[in-house]
Structure 1
């Protein structure tokens, strides 16, 4: 008996080993032959941060991912509640 997979889009029983593969930076997908939709299969081993989420340079006041308070800021002062 062959392995069967139910497509979440069209509910057709398909063999996952016969499905075409598709990849993104973060995950692996299979393409359903019945409805031609991508179905999530697994996370990739080494996910990359997409370029639009990467920082090119640290912001002012930030060094090595740790935010440092600016000299004029009051540390330890709670905001006023009204």
Structure 2
């Protein structure tokens, strides 16, 4: 019983540790669903959007997708909820 309780508490703590938010400035837009941000702590972090499947640059509308995302968030401060 004690082992089960420890396992449940461990899993709960793991779930809580994944519920994080990162903040920073967008320094690169790779394509319509992937960016790189410079975090407040100085680290570069590559971010792939959850639930978005934008075309790659070489695919039809890939450059358009990239351009639209750049206009929306390039060089802007963002706050990202990590999934």
Q: Which has the higher contact order (CA 8 A, sep 6+)?
A: 2
After TM superposition, the score normalised by the length of structure 2 is: 0.19
Larger radius of gyration: 1
Q: Greater share of helix residues, 1 or 2?
A: 2
Q: Greater share of strand residues, 1 or 2?
A: 2
